[in-house]
Structure 1
Amino acid sequence: MWPARALSGTVRFAFLAVGVTTALLPFVWMLRTALGPPQNALGMSANPLPSSVSFRAFESAWRAADLGPALLTGVGVSLAILALQLLTAIPAAYAFAWVPFRGRSVLFGVVLATLLVPPQVTAVPNYVTISAFGLADTRVGLVLPFMTHAAMIFLLRQYMTTIPASVLEAARMDGLGTPRTLRRVVVPLCAPAIATVSVFSFLLSFNEYLWPLLVARSPDIATPPLALAGLTSRSSALPDFAQLAAGSLIISLPTLLVFIVAQRRLAAGISGTGQGD
């Protein structure tokens, strides 16, 4: 029995090591390319360390892509989208989980069905609507189409169904109405799930490329992916891969910081969102 258990642990460790290596290789390549000489950007080497270290590519990418304003815009837009999504998803998830009303299952099915619609399908109708209201090339126009998300509603609803009914009944007996029950009881209990969907929402919004490409015409409201893409469109020659790698590392810092801050609640939320009925 002991050899079998040891073999099972070895196999799992091997799969984990392969997965971690596969996930980290692109970052190792980007770091090596950004810090190494430009002429070695496309070279492959078993040595992960560059032959010489230089931060020229980081300085060049920061200035050429104007990454400072782009990062501020990206973070601001992502936080605004996150706030709106939480304001709409938390009450909706609570209603689907605990408020009985006619047609609840059908309506919840309709919400889930929207997940089957690719965002590319709704991009043009959304752009026409935003343009009709004069919100094209504005930060508001970048935010409004993403003010709610069906996946967030679903995940929060699944987590809320794990709350014991006795807890909500005790809140009602204490005289708490639905809004105060939601604010004082449900939201604190769902903090891990809220942290989870918040991280994913921020990542998706911050890395969104198609919608800002349609709406953001002026460089002043360019998001980080747009600013980085501009590095490849300024010249018909082969792009500076060291500069691109440095820019990619720079714009990945906010998402990395968000993940580090929320990693504990993220793990707890992922383990709990699939336990609902």
Structure 2
Amino acid sequence: MADRSGLLLRHVLLLLGAAVMLAPFVLMLSLSLKPPAEIFAPEFRLLPVQWAAVEDYTAAFTKVPLARFLLNGFIVTFCIFTAQALTALPMAYALAKLRWQGRDTAFLLVLAALLVPPQVPAIPLYIALWQLDLLNTYAAIILPSTISVFGIFLMRQFFRTVPDDLIAAARMDGLGEFAIVWRIMLPTAAPALAAFGCLSFIWNWNEFFWPYIAVQSEQLMTPPLGIAFFSDTEAGTSWGPLMAAATVATAPLVLAFLLAQRAFVRGVTMTGIK
């Protein structure tokens, strides 16, 4: 009886936590379907009396080039993840499976880098990109994120679970270290790479701080920057189109997590991060 009560209590707490997490998204979706009169009505209704979904979502795509912002988001996140995977895999392999002087010190530096907020190197990065004449380009958004210390740490934790006998057998077959990384470790690390890809996609898709500094052209802006166009302190915020744009920008994140859910959970548990 006590076990059932404890199980019931845990499920109730999980349901309450899920309700708290989902409430902002439900409110966002609800407001994206309502006309202004109902958005500012004193009483709250989850579903609108008069539906304005067509008007709000049409305004979201016509008031600003939202489709272009979404395309920019996919380009930036894909390029960043590709660069992060290409750098994190060999670095993590070297930290996990190769024996060399200073390996433990290098890993401590990786752990220390996890403590550095991304805002700290913003000014030096901005000056460097300005000197290279790369500001207001895709490269200005992508280059500062090409190396992920979290990705190195995550993949290193996973590589430590790979048996050394597998690597020894690959070396006996004549494979070099780089060949081992791309032909042996990469397929083995697919779950961890999927977990990291999901996290990288969510983080870089939602990134506002650095793109806001690095680009000024509307044609290069990512979804978070584009959504800011709906906020106007003088004319008033268009809450219906704003919530519609936010819903459209959030949908790829939800879809990505649902598609990679099993691989994400498997990858995180196999790396020992619990």
TM-score range, shorter-chain basis?
Answer: over 0.9
Q: Which amino acid in the other structure matches residue 273 of structure 1?
A: T
Residue segments in structure 2 that go unaligned for 5+ positions in a row? none
Judged with a 3 Å threshold, the aligned counterparts in structure 2 of structure 1 residues 9 and 249 are, in CA distance, closer, same or farther, namely same
Residue 247 of structure 2 is aligned to residue 249 of structure 1: yes
Tell me by how many angstroms 1:37 deviates.
Answer: 2.1
Distance 2:59 2:145 in 1: 33
1:117 corresponding residue in structure 2: 116
Residue 242 of structure 2 is aligned to residue 229 of structure 1: no
1:206 corresponding residue in structure 2: 205
Judged with a 3 Å threshold, the aligned counterparts in structure 2 of structure 1 residues 128 and 98 are, in CA distance, closer, same or farther, namely same
Distance 2:143 2:43 in 1: 46
Q: Does 130-139 or 117-126 show the bigger shift? A: 117-126
1:66 corresponding residue in structure 2: 65
TM-score, structure 2 normalization: 0.95
Distance 1:248 1:116 in 2: 30
Q: Which amino acid in the other structure matches residue 51 of structure 2?
A: V
Tell me by how many angstroms 1:200 deviates.
Answer: 0.7
Residue 135 of structure 2 is aligned to residue 136 of structure 1: yes
1:196 corresponding residue in structure 2: 195
Q: Does 52-61 or 14-23 show the bigger shift? A: 52-61
Q: Which amino acid in the other structure matches residue 88 of structure 1?
A: T
Judged with a 3 Å threshold, the aligned counterparts in structure 2 of structure 1 residues 161 and 57 are, in CA distance, closer, same or farther, namely same
SS in 1 for 2:175: coil
2:264 corresponding residue in structure 1: 266
CA RMSD of aligned residues (A): 1.6
Tell me by how many angstroms 1:45 deviates.
Answer: 5.3
Tell me by how many angstroms 1:208 deviates.
Answer: 0.7
Q: Does 167-176 or 10-19 show the bigger shift? A: 167-176
Q: Which amino acid in the other structure matches residue 168 of structure 2?
A: E
Tell me by how many angstroms 1:44 deviates.
Answer: 6.8
Q: Which amino acid in the other structure matches residue 220 of structure 2?
A: I
Distance 1:115 1:42 in 2: 43
Tell me by how many angstroms 1:252 deviates.
Answer: 1.0
1:8 corresponding residue in structure 2: 6
Judged with a 3 Å threshold, the aligned counterparts in structure 2 of structure 1 residues 153 and 190 are, in CA distance, closer, same or farther, namely same
1:148 corresponding residue in structure 2: 147
Q: Which amino acid in the other structure matches residue 245 of structure 1?
A: M
Residue segments in structure 1 that go unaligned for 5+ positions in a row? none
TM-score, structure 1 normalization: 0.94
Tell me by how many angstroms 1:42 deviates.
Answer: 3.9
